Amino acid sequence: MAETRKAEEIFKEFKEHSISEFFKKNRQMLGYSGKIRSLVTVVHEYVTNGLDACEEAGILPDIGVEVKEVAEEKYKITITDNGPGIPSKFVGKALATILAGTKFHRYVQQRGQQGIGAAGCTLFSQMTTGQPIAVRSCTGTGKAFSCKIAIDTMNNKPVVTEMEDLPDKFRGLSVEGIFADVKYENSDHGVYEYLRRTALSNPHAQIKFIDPEGKESLFVRAVDKVPERPKPTKPHPLGLFINDLLEFAHSSESRKISSFLADTFARVTPNKVDELKPFAKTVDFEKSPKQLTWEDAESLIKAFKEVKWIAPDATTITAIGEEQIKVALKNILNPEFMNVVERKPKVFRGGIPFIVEAAVAFGGTSGRETSEGYAGNVLRFANRVPLLFDSGTCAITIAAKNVDWKRYSIDIDTQPVSIFVNVSSVHIPYSGVGKEAIAQEDEIIEEIKLAVMEAARGVQHYISGKHKAAEEATRYKTIMRYAKQLAQDVAYMTGSDQKKIEDKIEKLVLKHYPKVKENESADEGEKAEEAIAEEAEEE
Amino acid sequence: MAETRKAEEIFKEFKEHSISEFFKKNRQMLGYSGKIRSLVTVVHEYVTNGLDACEEAGILPDIGVEVKEVAEEKYKITITDNGPGIPSKFVGKALATILAGTKFHRYVQQRGQQGIGAAGCTLFSQMTTGQPIAVRSCTGTGKAFSCKIAIDTMNNKPVVTEMEDLPDKFRGLSVEGIFADVKYENSDHGVYEYLRRTALSNPHAQIKFIDPEGKESLFVRAVDKVPERPKPTKPHPLGLFINDLLEFAHSSESRKISSFLADTFARVTPNKVDELKPFAKTVDFEKSPKQLTWEDAESLIKAFKEVKWIAPDATTITAIGEEQIKVALKNILNPEFMNVVERKPKVFRGGIPFIVEAAVAFGGTSGRETSEGYAGNVLRFANRVPLLFDSGTCAITIAAKNVDWKRYSIDIDTQPVSIFVNVSSVHIPYSGVGKEAIAQEDEIIEEIKLAVMEAARGVQHYISGKHKAAEEATRYKTIMRYAKQLAQDVAYMTGSDQKKIEDKIEKLVLKHYPKVKENESADEGEKAEEAIAEEAEEE
């Protein structure tokens, strides 16, 4: 029997630790596991912040990314944007305090939502090379400055050093860090692919990338319009938990519960409050919201479910938009054929609105090349941010897998097909802190599946046409192989002209396989494709 | 063009928030997504803590779990253990401060390692029902008490109420909470299965479960021995990052760098320090560790890689053990045949030791029943804790998938096979805060794969024997179908006795298919099975 220890002895070691200490020990939870993934995570965090900042300031984003190998598995990563910059007063906390930022407490759709990403990069640089992050920032009109930023992990506080004024004003932010235990690779899960996908979902952004070999790639801006800034929104009553309602009530300035409800939540009018009353008879609507009890809140949440509501306001969500996706897909994948679907807003967990956009693209650089030809791939996005990792647990992957692709004449395993899905919401339920996958909420999976099926339906005619054409071409070739011999034999037997007989046979065969000819002309123009596209749209 | 906003305006909204607020908003990251999974997560957190506490105190664990439906999708969950209890002074923080506990700062193998789980349960109860957690605790000799515990999420602090002395002393902890937005289901991902697997990996624990219908299940203790308490260990030099080394140095009480190295890290002797010196010429080994610079640390980390080290001390890791796994598998799955493998300790990330145990079990209640018969399943464990969710991203699943099962005559899709894998380590690199999957560290995946292959090799003869027997039986039946007719015809033609001819034919056929007879006798005894097992062991 093992020696026993008393609780008193065990609890001598009881301690609290900071969130920075926690993530230092569990960096894989922030996306820092694996050398290639770790490098992409750094780029991902900074690019995401740059795009958010530009959009919030109403600026067309110009993003620069440079990855330079400074030693073995040690890279300098520099990201610049032309956004609003960060005032010097906030720059330390913004880049070196985990769980601090402008985004967390707002109820508005954004790429970032946690205030973890950039501070995580600072932590990772510090852990692997001991270097602080070098920052240059100017708000355009304010002071231009540079500084170095590290993180005091025991207290989760920034350590700002070498703060210096810069002579010339500019607008934007530049961050530069040295990271080790990372590796650049030009693969499906690498930085180039990440930026390519970012360009795909952000056609209004211009992205310049310089890779470790000095090769420059430019993802050109395809749309000259900043996306509408999503409006901050009030929470919808159906999306509330009891404790949310209580917290809103206790911090409310409204005089009565009735006015509190109408002031605080979307779709609540004074009339609606009257409608609620019979379903929450125990609640005194005249008392101060500060006096709302748990029982009151419970009754109200129940009452919310008894009345009819207008759906949450979808104008608070900005999807990419059908036209913009088309432009982007053409720009980046140049597919032979595609179909883009933007679905109507839906809600999950009762009242959190979201919008799914889906596209299926065929040909061009769709799908991915394999040793045996091509295979389909799923391009996952959340609020326009590409998700490259953890695909196995992501709602998008699961929804796409659940589609019966055969019904749409699509063979995911062998065809050059890309399935594009973007989920937009004020609150994306990511499965992990690293934000690489969307949690498996049933309502979201179902809606993605419907969107993908709708998109697939639009390409079905084209692909099954392609398929038939390919089949006919094979048969035609097989038969024509015998035609020459047949013509020769017939000519010999009948004494007619062999060439004439050959032509006649070819015409006969072509009558049976009309697609062979169509296809040839389609290669010249795009008539056949368009015809099929129209047909598909009529469906 | 959208209206532009200045940085000054945007950063007015800059705020910090607590880790509790963060997880309140992102409860899916703690495992609270999906009603069934959420319920299992609660049970998982408390049972894990109970087992850890018992083992640490050297007590054979008796765990009680009761799940009771109190309203629709609202359950009361009660978990009791016979562990050391929690002193009243610590009970609030232990159960209602995220990132507090006895485990985080220790370098010792345990199920829990973060100080998040139990506080997460308190948060979840509060979010969904507004109820505090009811606690009863006594350390055996100390005061027995009960209290209620909630969490002040804005400050991540406990709120302890109704603290009362209890008249009778006992030893253990009981926690009871009311949770909504959860659902009990008796499925592959449900509480019953979770406890069944917990029993499988903890044969020294006795677990009693009362389900919502009042049905009682007892997972009986199969081994009367508390596992050796893993010893706290010193970090191995090869597992250190530069910043780790710096932090150890700056908080060290040693007088010189040379003695600091020998005092702080495993496998460092004064001789080893001398061996390091030529590889770190710029480092002054005589100065105080408090004066260690980043450059010094970098040189030392490089030097560590130049000398030979004894592998990390594996006695700091307690695996389940081959015999114990056998007993547990027999107890729970009662397989026809199994093979258990305990591998030697390996390291990942340079110096973190881990041990993989793997087993392949065939028949009994191995695998899972499907509409078409059976299919194999993978039973994943980390430090004896069953992992039920996020299998797609788990190192164990990925390793098992990479095995070429055909080589071992195993058909995962149709056979009643269970693949059991337990990874033990001082630091399991979980992919998420919810600790449901092991991150994809290459070295861990590779080692799991080797372990599973080794386990599979041991059952190969048995399974291919089963397979051959089944094939022969089919052929035998097919041929014997004609034998009667043949015997009749031959008897007619030759005038001999039909029965005799039939018998002769049967004997002839059986000569070709000996396994048919073997199998019949095996059904009576277990001789054939044993013979094959021996054969497999001889390999």
Q: Give CA–CA dist B326/B320, Å, rounded.
A: 10
Q: Give CA–CA dist A81/A65, Å, rounded.
A: 9
Nearest CB partner across the interface for B17, out of A7, A104, A297: A104
Residue type, A508: L
Tokens, residue A306: 């008894």
Q: Which helix (H) or strand (E) holds A270?
A: helix A270-276
Interval B287-298 mean pLDDT: 92
| Greater model confidence, A320 or A26 | A320
Q: Which residues of B touch A302 (CB under 8 A)?
A: none
- Architecture of the CATH domain A312-539: 2-Layer Sandwich (3.30)
CB B169 within 8 Å of CB B141: yes
Predicted complex ipTM: 0.74
The Cα of B440 is separated from the nearest Cα of chain A by a number of Å equal to 7
Q: Which residue of A has its CA nearest to B59?
A: A4
Q: Which residue of B has its CA nearest to A83?
A: B7
DSSP letter at B229 equals P
pLDDT 10s digits, A426-450:
889 998 888 889 998 888 999 999 9
A309 touching chain B per CB within 8 A:
no
Per-window interface: B 413-432 vs A, CB < 8 A: 427, 429-432
Strand partners, A347: A353
∠ at Cα A350 (A349, A355), nearest 5°? 75
Tokens 């799955």 belong to which residue? B333
pTM for the structure as a whole: 0.78
Query: Which fold does the domain B314-451 belong to in CATH?
Result: Ribosomal Protein S5; domain 2 (3.30.230)
pLDDT of residue B533: 40
The Cα of B146 is separated from the nearest Cα of chain A by a number of Å equal to 16
Domain limits, CATH 3.30.565.10, in chain B = 19-219
pLDDT 10s digits, B128-180:
888 899 999 998 888 899 999 999 988 889 999 999 999 999 999 999 999 99
pLDDT 10s digits, A61-86:
999 999 999 998 999 999 999 999 99
Give the closest residue to B389 by CA, choosing from A107, A206, A392, A44: A392
Buried b (16+ CB within 10 A) or exposed e, A453-463: bbbbbbbbbbb
Q: Which residues of B touch A126 (CB under 8 A)?
A: 243
Q: Which residues of A touch B128 (CB under 8 A)?
A: 241-243
pLDDT 10s digits, A92-141:
998 988 887 766 555 666 776 667 889 999 999 998 888 999 999 998 88
Torsion of CA B262, B264, B268, B274, to 10 degrees: -40
The Cα of B191 is separated from the nearest Cα of chain A by a number of Å equal to 19
The Cα of B494 is separated from the nearest Cα of chain A by a number of Å equal to 57
Nearest CB partner across the interface for A130, out of B2, B10, B243: B243
Domain limits, CATH 1.10.8.50, in chain A = 237-304
B22 touching chain A per CB within 8 A:
yes
pLDDT of residue B102: 67
pLDDT of residue A3: 54
pLDDT grade for A392, boundaries at 50, 70 and 90:
confident
Residue of B27, B108, B221, B241 to mutate, testing the A interface (most A Cβ within 10 Å of its Cβ): B241
pLDDT of residue B370: 85
Q: What is the number of CB-based contacts under 8 A between chain A and chain B?
A: 242
Q: Which residues of B touch A2 (CB under 8 A)?
A: 55, 58, 226-229
Give the lowest-confidence range in A377-391, A484-498, A525-539, B75-89: A525-539
pLDDT of residue B107: 61
pLDDT of residue A517: 62
Q: Which residues of B touch A61 (CB under 8 A)?
A: none
Of these ranges, A8-22, A302-316, A467-481, B525-539, the one predicted with the greatest mean pLDDT is A302-316
B477 touching chain A per CB within 8 A:
no
The CATH class, in words, for B237-304 is mainly alpha
CATH code for residues B19-219? 3.30.565.10
Nearest CB partner across the interface for B6, out of A84, A89, A181: A84
Count CB neighbours of A511 within 10 A. 8
Tokens, residue B269: 């002797």
